[in-house]
Amino acid sequence: MAAFVGPVGLTPAFADPLPYGPDTCISGYVWREAAPGDNVCVTPAVRDATAAQNANAVANRDPNGAYGSNSCKQGFVWREAFDGDVVCVTPDIRAATKADNAAAASRKASNGPAPAPQQAPAPSAGTHTVRFEITGSGTVYSIDTDPAGSRVAENTNVPFSRTLTVGPDVQLLQVIAVTKTGDQGCRISVDGTVVVDQAPGSSAHCVFNLS
């Protein structure tokens, strides 16, 4: 029987983070476009072949066949990319077309796995994150660290902390405070682990060697 080839309606796309909405293809695939609105995802080569088949749709027809003007010549069959698709192709092409239809959902970006969360870059080899602290209470005349950072003004309130990233050329770490009021101690942490800790009221001078 005769079948009519008509345009396939497009469903309006709602706001979607994917560039072409829910029909966006995964990388390496494009819409087949066997007819307007045919958004089955296929390889670029298949899309090009589909366009060529459409352009030569009448070449493989037999207008005197059992199905009228849509009848195919001997050895050809309807492609059936969608309901009503009567472009005449070889049986292997129809089989491949049906396989593409069956795999359609797996080739949509919206059905792919969620992207892995981005992780903070790992520190470069030989680098360390160092945290210097002056603990306790009161104020200081000065706080100095090695490696040095920005100047700490007189009358700075305690507690105080400073975090630096040091390279493989740094071996000696130290922090020292000159007390003005109150009692101070100190602490040094390397990559999150406390390596030196002096309680307030003792010596606000901490030293650690990385080697």
pLDDT tens-place string over residues 36-69:
999 999 999 999 999 999 998 888 999 899 989 9
Structure tokens at 131: 């945290």
Question: What range does the domain containing 133 cover?
Answer: 128-209
Give all strands of the β-sheet with 160-166 in edge-to-edge order. 160-166, 128-136, 184-190, 193-198
pLDDT band at 18 (very low <50, low <70, confident <90, very high): confident
Checking if the pLDDT of 125 tops 80, the result is no
Checking if the pLDDT of 16 tops 50, the result is no
Looking at the structure, do residues 172 and 97 belong to the same domain, yes or no? no
Looking at the structure, do residues 83 and 156 belong to the same domain, yes or no? no
Checking if the pLDDT of 7 tops 80, the result is no
Contact 16/33 with Cβ under 8 angstroms?
no
Checking if the pLDDT of 78 tops 60, the result is yes
pLDDT band at 10 (very low <50, low <70, confident <90, very high): very low
Distance CA 9, CA 127 (A): 59
Give domain status of residue 122, yes or no: no
